[in-house]
Amino acid sequence: YGIVIDAGSSRTTLFVYKWPAGKENNTGIVSEHSYCKVAGAGISSYAADPPAAGNSLKTCLDRTVETIPTERHAETPLYLGATAGMRLLNLTDPEATEGVLAALTTTLKSYKFNFQGAKILSGSEEGVFGWVTANYLLENLVKYSWIGRWIKPVRSTVGAMDFGGASTQISFVPREKIEDPESEVFLRLYSQDYKVYTHSYLCYGRDQVMKKVLSQMMI
């Protein structure tokens, strides 16, 4: 089992994943086991009250304790990744950002899972994770064949556009060389190499766009 907490700009969701002990071509075959939507807005909204950010996770964490077998808790990795909402907060108020992350860490460490960290994802990380998710679900990276084994699909990967609350990410495998090294991410999945172009546009998410529109209407 593994637990991933997706701390987006407008909401937070806890996902529980599971996979068999073995791997296919050095990469696990992962499936979603369950998920829990955390009540309230995104964690960046707790800038004035950091402890409340940690407390907001407890209901879902308590449910996860019941979901995963007790004997697996200590070996179950637990990650929290925050996205553009926290990237924006970190630009305007680094001290509040540290307070929120510290409160989250305190709460997550109080559970008996294998805590791996609470961090703010870069735009590139957020983009490429979205690309992997889209292509994995579309079975473009690996597929279970009719002959009873996992195979590399013939079809190509697709691009992914993630329109979030505070940012938008565009990621794809280009046909030409990627000129900007900061926009290139190298991945090795199921013994196949991928060079992915990914770029994040901060403040071009839904909520930020709406704020810009409303500000113009007020003028």
Query: Looking at the annotation, which residues are catalytic?
Result: 126
Closest CA to 11 of 34, 39, 36: 39
Q: Which residues contact 205 (CB under 8 A, 6 or more apart)?
A: 9, 84, 163, 164, 165, 166, 167, 168
Residue 156 CA to chain centroid, in angstroms? 23
Q: Which residues contact 4 (CB under 8 A, 6 or more apart)?
A: 14, 15, 17, 79, 80, 81
Its sign, for the CA torsion 97, 74, 15, 37, is negative
Phi, psi of 157 (to 5 degrees): -75, 165
Question: Are 111 and 36 spatial neighbours (Cβ–Cβ below 8 Å)?
Answer: no
Distance from C-alpha of 215 to C-alpha of 147, rounded to nearest angstrom:
58
